[in-house]
Amino acid sequence: MPTQKTLRRLAREHGTPLVVIDHEVLRRNYATFKKYLPRVQAYYAVKANPDPAIVRTLFDVGASFDVASMPEFMIVYDLIKDMPAKQRQDWIWDKIIYAHPIKADATLRELDQYKALVTYDNSEEIRKIRKHAPHSGLALRLKVPNTGAMVELSSKFGAAPGEAVDLILEADRAGLVVEGLSFHVGSQTTNFENYVQAINLAASIYKEAQDRGYTRMNLLDIGGGFPAPYDDTVRPFRDLARRINAEIDRLFPKNIEILAEPGRFLVATAATAVASIIGKAVRDGKLCYYLDDGVYHTYSGILFDHCHYHVEAMRKGPREICTVFGPTCDALDTISMAEELPSTLKRGDLVFSRNIGAYSVASSTSFNGFPPATVVHINQ
Q: What region does 81 belong to: left with phi over 0, alpha with psi -120 to 50, or beta?
A: alpha
Question: With bands split at pLDDT 50, 70 and 90, how would you rate the model's confidence at 201?
Answer: very high
Q: Is domain 23-268 given the CATH code 2.60.120.260 in the classification?
A: no
Q: What is the pLDDT of residue 148?
A: 65
- Per the annotation, the verdict on 329 as an active-site residue is yes
Q: What is the pLDDT of residue 149?
A: 61
Residues of the chain with CATH 2.40.37.10: 4-19+271-378
Contacts of 212 (CB under 8 A, 6+ apart): 165, 169
Q: What is the pLDDT of residues 16-33, one digit of tens each?
A: 999 999 999 999 999 999
Residues of the chain with CATH 3.20.20.10: 23-268
The least confident of 162-176, 226-240, 254-268, 333-347 is 226-240
Dmax (CA) of the chain = 72
Alpha-carbon span 71 to 67, nearest angstrom? 9
Q: What is the pLDDT of residues 120-134, one digit of tens each?
A: 999 999 999 999 999
Alpha-carbon span 132 to 109, nearest angstrom? 5
What's the CATH code, domain 4-19+271-378? 2.40.37.10
CA proximity to 161, closest of 191, 132, 121: 121
